[in-house]
Amino acid sequence: MLKKLAIVAAVLLAFGATQAFATPAPFCWDNTDQVIKKLKRLDLNTEQLKDVFVYQEAHRDVMKRAHTEGLGCRVHENHEAQFVKQSVGVLTDEQFEKYTGRERNEEEVLIYDNYLLVKEVAAL
């Protein structure tokens, strides 16, 4: 009985290991879900949510590419900061103040203005 249990455990462990390594980044954390959870508390409109999910998908693509090309974790860890900047860049001034507790700095104003300009150009 103990022998059968050990064999089953070994098979399950081997299967789990192959499934973990089947993904390009099996042991990397993707903290984008926590950022999105915090942003959802701000009652984003549909357009803002769509844009945040597009940024999240782009971040996950960077994660996959970093590992399939052997670039390492540092690449996608650095890109996560870019994801946060882009995601916070879709917030209105009121939402931004609720999220951070302060007004936008010069760089954040430029990111938000750029976001609005891209939306206007796309609408044309």
Vertex 19 angle, CA 15 and 20, to 5°: 115
Q: Nearest to residue 32, comparing CAs of 75, 83, 72, 78?
A: 83
CA distances from 8 to 13, 21, 93 (A): 9, 20, 57
Q: What is the number of alpha carbons within 13 Å of residue 86 lying toward its C-beta?
A: 18
Query: Each residue of 61-115: pLDDT tens digit?
Result: 988 888 888 887 777 777 888 888 889 999 999 999 999 999 999 999 999 999 9
> What local confidence, expressed as pLDDT, does residue 78 receive?
78
